[in-house]
Chain A
């Protein structure tokens, strides 16, 4: 069963506009959420995270929103830049125990000049 889902395999956005990437989860035990960015032939790079006690976390151009009742989170990138073109993975974990990450399938973001 897919506990973390990213339903959009790809997204195309014009440079300077806002990119919004979405993620849904099913396991109520998840209380920490992360976004990673991945370029081809490289490992995932940590972008931003949020714990379940918050509903928003911001870091520069990146903001993550968490809606616990809907089991939904989103990543906003504004303004979008060509260097943001990559695959973005949403991941969830429980703070207790192994803290292993459960990843979504990824969304390929393309920023068009």
Chain B
């Protein structure tokens, strides 16, 4: 399977705990995005990487959130001191980043439930 993969698919945690999610993009894609989706809404942009550089962060990304993409391959998204409002589906997407094509391909998502 050469699509975008995410791990874990589901995470249940208690409020105040730290969680980390992983995303493996399509191998030749140099752009990687994180989005968050809550019930009844479309995905909302969180942050994006061009290779290993994090070039943009949404104001939705509070200081409890940190994302990395070491070596420009897989990426991790960590949430510290989780709150109930962090419960959502966290989606990762990747793209070639061409100036003429912007199809982003999404992974299956990680569903986070904070109790």
Contact = CB atoms under 8 A, between A and B. Distances in A.
Interface in B88-110: 91, 93, 95, 97, 99-100, 102-109
Nearest to B104: A101
Given A44-B91, A101-B43, A105-B42, A93 B106 contact: no
A12 B95 CA distance: 33
A59 interface: no
A65 interface: no
A99 B108 contact: no
B22 to A, nearest CB: 15
Interface residues of B, number: 29
Contacts, number: 68
Contacts of B109: 42-43
Nearest to B97: A99
B40 interface: yes
8 contacts: A34-B104, A43-B107, A46-B106, A95-B100, A102-B45, A103-B43, A106-B40, A106-B42
Interface of A: 4, 32, 34, 36, 41-46, 49, 51, 89, 91, 93, 95-106
Given A36-B106, A95-B100, A106-B41, 16 more contacts: A34-B104, A42-B109, A43-B6, A43-B93, A44-B106, A46-B106, A49-B102, A49-B103, A99-B31, A99-B95, A99-B97, A101-B33, A101-B35, A101-B102, A103-B44, A105-B42
Shortest Cβ-Cβ A-B pairs, 5 listed: A103-B42, A43-B106, A100-B45, A98-B56, A99-B102
Interface of B: 4, 6, 31, 33, 35, 40-45, 48, 55-56, 91, 93, 95, 97, 99-100, 102-109, 111
